[in-house]
Structure 1
Amino acid sequence: MSLEQLSGKTVLVTGAGGLIGSRITSQLRRLGARPISVCRLDAYPPEVYRDRFGINTTEPDFIVGDIAGPELMSEAISGCDYVIHAAALADVAACTRRPLDAIDTNIIGTQRVLDAVAASDQVQRMVFVSSASVYGNGNGTSPEPVHDHVPAQFTEGAAVSPVSVYGNSKVWGEYQTAAVLGGVGTSYAVVRYFSVYGEPQVVKENSHSWVVAWFAMRAALGLPLHLNGGGHQIRDLVHVDDIATGTLYALVAPRAHNETVNIGTGTGTSIWQVAELVRAHYPDTQLVETPMPPGDPEGGYASVERMEELLGWRPTTSIEEGVARYVAWLRANPSAIPEWMPRAAAA
């Protein structure tokens, strides 16, 4: 199986203005496909989208709009062969603070996308982007569940047990995708992303997601790295290039039809280990233990057997290489550090 079969195809990508969506559309263009991009572009200042993610809103195939609107998706999907639904309020802390916003985007918006796909007679498959957050703390997902900092291995067939608003919304999206598209016979695949990182990821204020970017930016400013709960949480960190590639394999792999697949490395890394990897590049950085924020799971790592079997693929970027790449990018682009970060630290 080759991604080259996407050449000449039209692919609708929701959430195309973000880190992951912009990477997916870039890969699609390199493959000779035509991506149709949809995004609200309200999560960052305009210069972040333009300078960091390479978004050009004057392109005719880039649609600035809200997927939760009643007409947008049915109009955008016309003529599309595939759909990747990546749009979401994806910040765990933001979903916890603003659950109605999470419902609007992650539930109402997803239903609009599903209705449009179900009504299309051209779409060959939709990929619904889910998250490892559906596993919560791993209760019942592993023969060795989390206790005394023993990480869980998350397997697709295990029961889900989310501990956050964001995780709850993704569980709903998974079941609703199966119900709506399964009901009309349209092929779908669900991909559960583990912890995505990589250049040019830019952190958001009042968030505790995206630990590599947070730690690298704080270290570059000479600020201490905060280890929430001591930094024992486990994350399966997947570089955004691998995330984009895995998503495209899920879009075309015959065996991914109506399947749920982890997109992870199969290796768990603790938050403390991430801090040490960053500190190797900034040796004077201090580590400070801080309280655990609400909705932050203990975490674990992906079981990748199904991914390798169904997609015939696995990630290639190690966490050591990925952190080094991010630090090198940040040193070359120091202006990427948001202006609010040093001000917030001083306050």
Structure 2
Amino acid sequence: MRVLVTGAYGFVGNAVVRRLAEAGHEVVALTHRPADVPRPELPVSRVVYGDIRDKTDLVEALDGVAGVCHLAALTRVRESFDRPEEYQDVNAGGTVALLDALTAASPNLTPRIILGSTAAVYGAPEQQPIGEDTVPAPSNPYGVSKLAADDALRARAEAGEVEAVSLRCFNISGAVSGVGDADESRIIPKAVAVAAGRYPHLEMNGEGDAIRDFVHVDDLARAYVLALASSTAAPYRLYNVGATAASMREIVDTVERVTGKAVPVVHRPPQPEPPRLVADISRITNDLGWKPERSSLEAMISDAWSAASSGDR
């Protein structure tokens, strides 16, 4: 199958492209990065440089495509508070533009689209672990924008225009082929950066007891391949993707153990935050046969450390 991957040269896109190619798919890459910006070598048949909101760029990218893995998005929660309109425009508006172009490009087919969604749509539910039937209550503009993308996808699928899957990912970490997460606002990249000596310390709320769910980017990439290949009578499906529950303190301890480096911590006053946010992954396990294989805390941090140490991020 010829598959378009939007955001193909990002942290997740890199892993998804490699898994798709390994599974025998022909991959077309859409990237917002300028052509003269260095990027990792990927097994793609064609690269389209463009914007997910641009109709002309989308028409070029979708030529001959039967499936899409839609990863192009703005993803920084804190930044979304300062730029809510832009997050809505790119994440929700870009998804609608892609759906418009996809259905126009395939009038006689029902293309399949896999959307990279997020656990941020759930907010902070009291019931744990979090199942897909939890009523969404996003607490930041990023989550709001991604929920709007989910809703747009569901509506088009239920109208028969596409077959669709939303993968609501929890915290993604690790690295594939030397490409790790460059966003040091997140706990594992920041702790690894401190271990590498790029920052003097890591700031932590309270004693670091808050527990979050983490999944290796390569395990997530396998979920995309399985979702693309799966068949079901339901036009729209929704799956959580998580793997390993860990506290912030456990992460720091593991980074120190894996790297052999100290990670000094400055403890800030405790903040009002959910004590535990973890995924119920029984649905994706039952429906797609997916299960995490590389998502131990040690493996994720070891891969993140190797990528950061190589300088090829």
Q: TM-score, normalised by structure 1?
A: 0.80
- Distance across 1 between alignment mates of 2:156 and 2:83: 27
Question: Aligned residue for 1:26?
Answer: 18
Question: Aligned residue for 2:80?
Answer: 95
Match of 1:320 among 282, 298, 304: 298
Asked if the contact 2:48/2:60 (under 8 Å) is kept, the reply is: no
Question: Aligned residue for 1:138?
Answer: 125
Change (3 A) 1:60 1:315: closer
SS at match of 2:278: strand
Asked if the contact 2:215/2:292 (under 8 Å) is kept, the reply is: yes
| CA positional deviation for 1:279 | 1.7
1:330 partner letter: A
The alignment of Structure 1 onto Structure 2 pairs a total of residues equal to 303
* Structure 1 segments of 4+ aligned residues over 4 angstroms from their partners: 291-294, 296-299
Asked if the contact 1:74/1:116 (under 8 Å) is kept, the reply is: yes
Question: Aligned residue for 1:345?
Answer: none
Match of 1:235 among 200, 203, 212: 212
Asked if the contact 1:136/1:299 (under 8 Å) is kept, the reply is: no
Question: Aligned residue for 1:16?
Answer: 8
Q: Are 1:223 and 2:200 an aligned pair?
A: yes
Deviation digits for residues 105-159 of structure 1 (CA, Å, limit 9, x no counterpart): 10211110111223323353111110011111124xx1xxxxxxxxx31100110
- Distance across 2 between alignment mates of 1:292 and 1:184: 48
Q: How does 1:77-96 map to 2 (within 5 A)?
A: 77-96=62-81
- Distance across 2 between alignment mates of 1:13 and 1:189: 14
1:21 partner letter: G
1:115 partner letter: D
Asked if the contact 1:219/1:225 (under 8 Å) is kept, the reply is: no
Match of 2:240 among 250, 255, 262: 262
Q: TM-score, normalised by structure 2?
A: 0.88
- Distance across 1 between alignment mates of 2:118 and 2:288: 18
Deviation digits for residues 52-97 of structure 1 (CA, Å, limit 9, x no counterpart): x4359xx761111101113222332121111111110012122222
Change (3 A) 1:293 1:108: farther
Q: How does 1:29-178 map to 2 (within 5 A)?
A: 29-41=21-33, 46-47=37-38, 50=39, 53-54=40-41, 61-119=46-104, 120=106, 121-139=108-126, 142=127, 152-178=128-154
| CA positional deviation for 1:299 | 5.2
- Distance across 1 between alignment mates of 2:156 and 2:188: 36
Deviation digits for residues 143-182 of structure 1 (CA, Å, limit 9, x no counterpart): xxxxxxxxx3110011011111111111111111011232
Q: Are 1:184 and 2:160 an aligned pair?
A: yes
| CA positional deviation for 1:326 | 2.4
Q: Which consecutive unaligned segments of at least 5 residues does structure 2 have?
A: none
Give the alignment's Cα RMSD to 1 decimal: 2.5
Q: Are 1:271 and 2:248 an aligned pair?
A: yes
SS at match of 2:55: coil
Asked if the contact 2:4/2:28 (under 8 Å) is kept, the reply is: yes
Q: Which consecutive unaligned segments of at least 5 residues does structure 1 have?
A: 1-8, 143-151, 338-347
2:237 partner letter: E
Change (3 A) 1:320 1:138: same
Asked if the contact 2:174/2:217 (under 8 Å) is kept, the reply is: yes
Change (3 A) 1:54 1:229: farther
1:287 partner letter: V
2:238 partner letter: T
Q: How does 1:289-308 map to 2 (within 5 A)?
A: 289-290=267-268, 300-308=277-285
SS at match of 1:161: coil
Q: Are 1:203 and 2:182 an aligned pair?
A: yes
- Distance across 2 between alignment mates of 1:83 and 1:303: 26
Change (3 A) 1:71 1:223: same
- Distance across 1 between alignment mates of 2:227 and 2:42: 24
SS at match of 1:274: helix
- Distance across 2 between alignment mates of 1:230 and 1:298: 12
